[in-house]
Amino acid sequence: MVNGGAGGGQGAKTRKADGRSWDFATNTQFTGERARPVRGTFGREIEQVVAPVVLTLFLCGMNRLVLAATIKIKRLIIMPPNTNSLEHELLAIRCQLGELAAFDELVDRWHAPLWRYVRRMADRDELAEEILQEAWLRILRGIVKLREPASLVPWLFGIARRVLMDHLRQKYKQLASNEGLDDQAAQTAEIDSRNDIEHLLYEVDKLPLPQRELLTLYLYYLEELTVDEVARVLDIPAGTVKSRLHHVRNLLKRNLLNEES
Amino acid sequence: MHQLTSPTLDADVVRRAMHKELSTAARVGYTLLLLVGFTGAGLVGSLWLTEPNPLPPQTHLTFGLLAIINLSWVVFAAWVLTQRKVLYAKQSVISGWMAVVFCIAFLLIGCAIAYERANTNGLIAIGVVATAQFIVAIALLRRAKLRRNVLLARRDVLLKQLAGS
């Protein structure tokens, strides 16, 4: 792994190749660290040409233009192909070939992130375990049909999300069919169970705005998914992901400015 | 948002369950079941259709039941291999070879039976059915090999790219 952070439950702090860093333990503070981008030879050459131009513009007071241009150039030219995505594609292909070691690697790499993702939505360890077991089974059976091995990561999280939704639907049906029970104990159990399910449904489907945004942030920063990948996992448009990220960043900025003042 | 937690479901447990689920022996077994069922249904059908003398109703019923039983196993094995114990690239190639071998065996056994009974119509029927099966088996094997080669080529490219970065 080139970039540290997201693998195997190493902690709450994460770092992306483009320098984004986020401390999920506190949910409120940037760590202040900047990851050094991995640059290719071509990238270094371009940078040597661009750097004097950028410096001149900066000295002329065109800070905003410089900032916007730098971000664009970094994304389009300087940053080399994402090594992580190549590794993911390779892992998916090895699994499709049927290499046992690749499946071991898949579990080693993604068990903890999937657990954290499922656990956030399930809100109970037992339910999260059940969902994750089912998700792993579906992953095993479905990976052969994965047409774009490069999109392994959003596919994994998408499966976990679908398993949870199926589970909730099934539970809801069971509750609806058990409505005619007379026994008091059964009724109590049903009410408890219904409350539980309603609570889960509330957590998953009708998350309050900050919670939804934090889930988006979690996938984006901690699991290092791209905007498009997060959109595919959460089944929302990429624009919504961007707006959620933008909204939370603004909130953070405001909080930090308030703290400073 | 909940605090980050360590998985209570151990990765080793998942890995063990996964190894059990990925067993090649089970996949070979279900492929065998599918091929035996298919070949059996073909043989029973051939015998039934090429019987020279008029058969009593009970014999028709027996032939029909045998064919249905064989086809049921075929359907069951096909369901398992597409939904539960799915075939990965390497296993698909193995299954393709098994299918080719079984088709050849069916062709030889069927022709031998028809020849022994001096049944020209039966010989033609078995020849046509077995040849059709053989062509399908070859096509499946070729597809499996192509798919595996594509994956292997992409794997090598990715390994080179990652080694160079």
Per-residue pLDDT of A226-257, as tens digits, reads 888 888 777 788 888 888 877 767 766 666 66
Instruction: Give percent above pLDDT 90 in chain B.
Output: 55
CB-CB under 8 Å, B161 with A120? no
What rounded mean pLDDT belongs to chain A? 67
CB-CB under 8 Å, B165 with A86? yes
- Shortest alpha-carbon distance between residue A216 and chain B (Å): 12
Residues 122-151 of B with CB under 8 A from A: 148, 151
Which tokens belong to B61? 């019923």
pLDDT at position A21 over 70:
no
Q: What is the mean pLDDT of residues A105-114?
A: 92
pLDDT at position A24 over 70:
no
Q: E strands within chain A? A: 13-15, 21-23
Q: What is the ipTM of this complex?
A: 0.86
The mean-pLDDT minimum among A7-21, A91-105, A146-160, B98-112 falls in A7-21
Q: pLDDT category, A105, cuts 50, 70, 90?
A: very high
Instruction: Give percent above pLDDT 70 in chain B.
Output: 97
Please, is A105 exposed, middle or buried when counting C-beta atoms within 10 Å of its C-beta (0-12, 13-18, 19+)?
middle
Contact present, A230 and A243 (Cβ < 8 Å): no
Q: Determine the pLDDT at residue B90.
A: 92
A116 CB neighbours in chain B (<8 A) are 4-5
Q: Determine the pLDDT at residue A56.
A: 66
Q: Give A58's contacts (C-beta < 8 A, 6+ positions apart).
A: A66
pLDDT tens string A111-159: 998 988 888 777 678 888 889 999 999 999 999 999 989 889 989 988 9
Helices (H), A76-151: 83-97, 100-122, 125-142
To test the contact with chain A by mutation, choose from B6, B158, B160 the residue with the greatest count of A C-beta atoms within 10 A, namely B158
Handedness of CA B109, B110, B113, B116 (dihedral sign): negative
Backbone angles phi, psi at A14, to 5 degrees: -135, 165
A129 CB neighbours in chain B (<8 A) are 8-9
Q: Determine the pLDDT at residue A50.
A: 60
Distance between CA atoms of residues B139 and B10, nearest Å: 43
Distance between CA atoms of residues B94 and B29, nearest Å: 12
pLDDT tens string A55-97: 666 566 566 666 666 655 555 544 444 677 899 999 999 999 9
Classify A55 in phi/psi space as left (phi over 0), alpha (psi -120 to 50) or beta.
Answer: alpha
Q: Which residue has the higher pLDDT, B65 or B113?
A: B65
Residues 70-99 of A with CB under 8 A from B: 80-81, 83, 86-87, 89-90, 93-98
Which DSSP helix (H) or strand (E) runs through B28? Answer: helix B24-49
Q: Which residue has the higher pLDDT, B21 or A258?
A: B21
> Closest partner residue to B155 among A94, A123, A140, by Cβ?
A94
Q: What is the mean pLDDT of residues A20-44?
A: 41
pLDDT tens string A171-195: 777 766 665 544 544 444 444 544 5
A138 touching B (Cβ < 8 Å): no
CB-CB under 8 Å, A136 with B17? yes
DSSP string, B63-128: HHHHHHHHHHHHHHHHHIIIIISPPPHHHHHHHHHHHHHHHHHHHHHHHHHHHHTT-HHHHHHHHH
Q: Determine the pLDDT at residue A63.
A: 61
Which tokens belong to B53? 């003398």
Contact present, A69 and A46 (Cβ < 8 Å): no
Distance between CA atoms of residues A160 and A146, nearest Å: 15
Distance between CA atoms of residues B1 and B87, nearest Å: 40
Q: What is the mean pLDDT of residues B60-83?
A: 94
A175 touching B (Cβ < 8 Å): no
To test the contact with chain B by mutation, choose from A87, A115, A126 the residue with the greatest count of B C-beta atoms within 10 A, namely A115
Distance between CA atoms of residues A247 and A210, nearest Å: 9
Q: Which residue has the higher pLDDT, B7 or A30?
A: B7
Cβ neighbour number for residue B61 with a 10 Å cutoff? 11
Q: What is the mean pLDDT of residues B54-73?
A: 93
Distance between CA atoms of residues A161 and A131, nearest Å: 9
Q: Give B157's contacts (C-beta < 8 A, 6+ positions apart).
A: none
Residues 142-161 of A with CB under 8 A from B: 144, 149
**3-state DSSP call for residue A71?**
helix
The mean-pLDDT minimum among A45-59, A167-181, A199-213 falls in A199-213
Q: What is the mean pLDDT of residues B107-122?
A: 82
Residue B43 bridge partners (DSSP): none
Q: Determine the pLDDT at residue A35.
A: 37
Q: Give A161's contacts (C-beta < 8 A, 6+ positions apart).
A: A121, A233, A234, A235
CB-CB under 8 Å, A144 with B4? no
Q: pLDDT category, A217, cuts 50, 70, 90?
A: low
User: CA angle at residue A33 from A27 to A34, to 5 degrees?
Assistant: 115
pLDDT at position B91 over 60:
yes
Residue A23 bridge partners (DSSP): A13
Q: Give A40's contacts (C-beta < 8 A, 6+ positions apart).
A: A80, B165
